[in-house]
């Protein structure tokens, strides 16, 4: 996780959906262990990954803590407020928003649009006295970075004028002194890059969500505030520069200032459109003067990555245009400070792997022939070969290829089916076989087995014409319950059947055993066991009977002995004996 760059990933939240890869116009994403991370050296901070991430794993660096520390310092802090604020704070007046910012600790609030007016005036001068050729605007830092990195041969065509924000920072420091602090507030992520690169002019850049966070923390509701008399934009209210957030707004302000009517003005919004129009552009008519307003966000800054988009785009544009006020005549606009800038090439090295390396990477994802290269865009890359190059660069991993994963899963499933000793089948809701193994076909006769050998898997075959107990499969599909029959009798055969739901109501599976021989063996064992038990019982009964007879004879003998012994005792003790009487 890299919190120093304006865009970063919360790895624990990343769901390896590759949506950011698909939507990133420059593929500045590296996927490792299923987690997508932004590559700062390739990124142009357009914010597309932040907008499309379904789980909010892509985050914009939060600089509210730095702003709090800045506001706590003795030096006055001035806000450079982007003109798109009228669309973001729809029910708030300028005075209310200024009052809210002052309650946060800002010394004053100025419009970035003042800097835009200076830029337009300077570009108009360039066009009035310039030579024929192509000029590209420098107003959007994301578009500028894109040209410098990905169309570097056109970097020299960027107008040598700083962005409206840089021009505004120079204006504020010329007006209030170089010891002040300047903080940009707006819809743009790449302004954070401008602040990081130009700390002497711009101390910090925060987005509208960050401003709203601070307002909530301080329990400030701008729409409920009552502005004070001095709650006005300083040093003055912007005029035509307020139109900059809308596509074509810069061109309108330049044309208002310029006297050269031979200039062809174009507007390109969205990096994809920029690439489409400029990539491969080599020959420009020598006698033509062309100026292109380049904006990274479709429709302009009102559709920046850090805006709410809670109303139709047309209404957002109308709000901006409704605030714009053109002066009666063009004004000479300039500042004492220098607002010129240079934009040298910063080309991203184009990957140039050898053909053998590309082929090896393609083979690693199971693509051995041109027909295997589906170019489905499931991995996020336009073509399989682009994906192969990303694999070589270490920016991607094989598991991102959907078709490769599907083939791997099919191979594993097929291997599992083939290795099973039992019959296995997968069936759809129309009772048509999706897949089965050979042992399944073998259970139901030579004819079915021949059909399997002719068409392995028997995909599309009607299960009801093969299995005599297909009604169990139908019942499981309808009820959504699994079914188990340990001993299902069909004719002279016995089957063990397990039917289970894979996708309830759509797909079910079945595992079938022929247990006829097993059950027969059990009966034989049971019969033999019963026979042994019967013999044992007979033996026990016989033993018991014999023991009974012996006990009876013994009893008779003992009784006889006892009786004889008793008679002898009686004779010995006869009272008529004269000797005994003495």
pLDDT at 453: 93
Q: What is the pLDDT of residue 85?
A: 96
In the chain, where are the structural domains located? Answer: 1-61, 62-323, 420-514, 519-569
- With beta carbons less than 8 A apart as the criterion, state whether 482 and 499 touch: yes
SS3 466: coil
Closest CA to 341 of 183, 137, 491, 530: 137
Q: Mean pLDDT in runs of 10 for the chain (582 residues)? A: 82 89 95 92 96 94 97 97 94 97 98 97 89 92 97 94 96 96 97 96 98 97 96 96 95 93 94 91 81 95 88 81 90 82 92 89 91 89 93 92 84 82 92 93 93 93 94 94 91 91 91 82 59 59 57 58 58 48 42
H or E element that contains 32: strand 29-32
| Alpha-helix residue ranges (DSSP H) falling in 218-354 | 249-257, 271-278, 313-323
H or E stretch including 499?
Answer: strand 493-503
Length of the chain: 582
Give the end-to-end CA distance of the chain in Å, rounded to a whole number: 130
Torsion sign across C-alpha atoms 162, 167, 169, 173: positive
Please give the Cα distance from 390 to 61 (Å, whole number). Answer: 26
Of all helices (H) and strands (E), which one includes residue 533? helix 516-572
Residues sharing a CB contact under 8 Å with residue 326, sequence separation 6 or more, in sequence order: 239, 240, 256
Per-residue pLDDT at 527: 60
Which pLDDT belongs to residue 549? 57
Q: Which two tokens stand for residue 501?
A: 């739901």
Report helix, strand or coil for 424. strand
Per-residue confidence (pLDDT) for residue 518, from 0 to 100: 74
- Which of 333, 341, 343, 289 has the alpha carbon at shortest distance from 130? 289
Asked whether 274 and 268 are in contact (CB, 8 A), the reply is yes
Residue 303: Cβ-neighbour burial (10 angstroms; 0-12, 13-18, 19+)? buried
| 401 phi, psi to nearest 5 deg | -80, 115
Confirm if 83 and 238 have CB atoms less than 8 A apart.
yes
* The pLDDT of residue 521: 61
Position 545 scores a pLDDT of 61
Per the structure block, which two tokens stand in for 436? 């089965």
On the 0-12 / 13-18 / 19+ scale of CB atoms within 10 A, 56 is: exposed
Architecture of domain 420-514: 2-Layer Sandwich (3.30)
CATH 3.30.70.20 given to domain 1-61: yes
The whole-angstrom separation of Cα 115 and Cα 27 is 32
> Can you tell me the distance from the alpha carbon of 294 to that of 301, in angstroms, rounded to the nearest whole number?
11
DSSP letter for 456, please. Answer: T
Distances (CA, A) of 403 to 368, 385, 409, 580: 13, 14, 10, 125
Is 312 within 8 Å of 285 (Cβ atoms)?
no
d(CA 29, CA 6): 14
DSSP 348: P
Measuring CA to CA, which residue among 85, 113, 82, 117 is closest to residue 253? 117
């Amino acid at each position: 996780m890299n919190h120093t760059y304006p865009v970063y990933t919360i790895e624990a939240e990343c769901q390896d959906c590759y949506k950011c890869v698909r939507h990133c116009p420059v593929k500045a994403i590296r996927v490792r262990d299923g987690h997508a991370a932004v590559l700062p050296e390739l990124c142009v901070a357009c914010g597309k990954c932040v907008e499309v991430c379904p789980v909010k794993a892509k985050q914009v660096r939060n600089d509210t803590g730095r702003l709090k520390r800045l506001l706590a310092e003795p030096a006055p802090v001035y806000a450079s407020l982007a003109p798109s604020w009228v669309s973001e704070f729809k029910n708030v007046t300028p005075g209310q928003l200024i009052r809210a910012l002052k309650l946060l600790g800002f010394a004053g609030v100025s419009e970035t649009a003042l800097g835009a007016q200076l830029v337009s005036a300077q570009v108009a001068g360039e066009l009035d006295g310039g030579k024929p050729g192509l000029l590209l605007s420098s107003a959007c830092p994301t578009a500028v970075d894109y040209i410098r990195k990905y169309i570097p041969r056109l970097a020299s065509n960027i107008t040598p004028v700083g962005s409206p924000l840089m021009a505004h920072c120079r204006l504020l420091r010329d007006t209030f002194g170089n010891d002040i602090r300047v903080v940009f507030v707006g819809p743009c992520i790449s302004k954070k890059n401008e602040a990081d690169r130009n700390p002497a002019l711009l101390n910090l850049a925060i987005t509208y969500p960050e401003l709203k966070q601070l307002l909530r923390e301080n329990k400030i509701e701008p729409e409920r505030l009552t502005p004070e008399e001095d709650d006005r934009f300083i040093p003055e209210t912007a005029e035509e520069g307020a139109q900059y957030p809308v596509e074509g707004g810069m061109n309108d302000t330049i044309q208002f200032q310029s006297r050269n009517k031979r200039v062809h003005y174009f507007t390109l919004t969205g990096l994809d459109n920029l690439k489409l129009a400029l990539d491969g552009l080599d020959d420009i008519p020598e006698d033509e003067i062309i100026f292109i307003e380049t904006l990274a966000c479709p429709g302009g800054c009102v559709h920046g990555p850090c805006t709410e988009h809670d109303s139709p785009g047309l209404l957002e544009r109308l709000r901006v245009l409704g605030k714009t006020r053109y002066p009666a005549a063009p004004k000479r606009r300039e500042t004492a400070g220098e607002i010129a800038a240079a934009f040298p090439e910063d080309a991203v090295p184009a990957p140039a792997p050898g053909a053998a390396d590309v082929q090896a990477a393609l083979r690693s994802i199971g693509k051995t022939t041109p027909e295997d290269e589906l170019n489905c865009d499931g991995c996020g890359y336009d073509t399989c070969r682009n994906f192969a190059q990303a694999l070589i660069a270490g920016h991607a991993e094989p598991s991102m290829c959907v078709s490769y994963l599907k083939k791997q899963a099919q191979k594993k499933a097929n291997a599992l089916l083939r290795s099973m000793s039992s019959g296995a089948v997968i069936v759809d809701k129309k009772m048509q076989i999706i897949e089965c193994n050979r042992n399944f076909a073998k259970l139901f006769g030579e004819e079915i087995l021949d059909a399997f050998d002719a068409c392995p898997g028997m995909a599309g075959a009607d299960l009801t014409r093969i299995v005599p107990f297909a009604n169990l499969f139908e019942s499981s599909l309808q009820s959504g319950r699994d079914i188990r029959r340990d001993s299902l009798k069909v004719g002279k055969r016995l089957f063990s059947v397990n039917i289970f739901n894979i996708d309830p109501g759509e797909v079910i599976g079945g595992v079938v055993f022929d247990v006829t021989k097993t059950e027969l063996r059990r009966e034989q064992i049971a019969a033999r066991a019963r026979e042994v038990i019967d013999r044992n019982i007979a033996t026990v009964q016989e033993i018991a009977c014999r023991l009974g007879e012996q006990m009876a004879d013994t009893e008779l003998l003992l009784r006889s002995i006892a009786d004889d012994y008793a008679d002898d005792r009686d004779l010995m003790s006869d009272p008529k004996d004269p000797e005994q009487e003495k």
